[in-house]
């Protein structure tokens, strides 16, 4: 397994809508393993394929490091889509593509998500709490949406200085990053 570089703020690959997965092969399975390795190295709980340069509708989530969720199984979701939402709750979010930046985001409290697993079986998951939050956050990534896009314009202006530091790569991370002046994104593998 390999730790993949994570694309950070203002990279074109983060603003594009990912394409549906058409087939599962060894290359995709290895890529998913690398996504899990990358997410864990970065101390994240979720990662979308476009965050590591691949415009495919793939996300990985592992909330088992969270208190009270130690028994949660890691999830790989292909072509996920939210089919039902309920309630509203505001919670602080962070993002591996926006290092050192956190803010409060309002999202549905509960979601139902349909997806396909690595065996191409259709699945449905109902989630609330941090798992619902992670699912929504990562599905947003697949749609070219960052959590800061959900903030009001005044709040985004207040974050401009920190966003500029990320843009220039003036952040410290324990994982490799790709900033705007570096490698172009990988659209498909």
Active-site residue set: 138
Q: Determine how β-strand 98-107 pairs with β-strand 177-178.
A: unpaired
For residues 175 and 6, what is the distance between their CA atoms, to the nearest angstrom? 8
Alpha carbons 135 and 40: distance in angstroms, whole number: 17
H or E segment at 159? helix 153-167
Q: Say how far apart CA 108 and CA 53 lie, in whole Å.
A: 28
How many other CB atoms are there within 10 angstroms of residue 90's CB atom?
A: 10
């Amino acid at each position: 397994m390999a730790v993949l570089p994570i694309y950070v703020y203002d990279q074109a690959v983060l603003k594009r809508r990912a394409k549906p997965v058409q087939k599962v092969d060894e290359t995709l399975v290895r890529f998913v393993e690398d996504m899990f390795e990358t997410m864990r190295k970065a101390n994240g709980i979720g990662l979308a394929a476009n965050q590591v340069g691949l415009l495919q509708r793939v996300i990985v989530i592992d909330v088992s490091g969270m208190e009270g969720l130690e028994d949660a199984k890691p999830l790989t979701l292909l072509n996920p889509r939210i089919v039902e939402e309920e309630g509203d709750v505001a919670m602080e979010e962070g993002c591996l593509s926006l290092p050192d930046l956190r803010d409060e985001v309002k999202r549905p409290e509960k979601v139902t998500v349909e997806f396909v697993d690595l065996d191409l079986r259709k699945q449905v998951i109902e989630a609330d709490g941090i798992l619902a939050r992670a699912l929504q956050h990562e599905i947003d990534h697949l749609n070219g949406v960052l959590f800061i896009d959900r903030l009001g314009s005044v709040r985004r202006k207040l974050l401009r200085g920190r966003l500029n530091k990320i843009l220039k790569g003036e952040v410290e991370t324990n994982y490799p990053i790709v900033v705007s002046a570096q490698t172009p994104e990988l659209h498909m593998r």
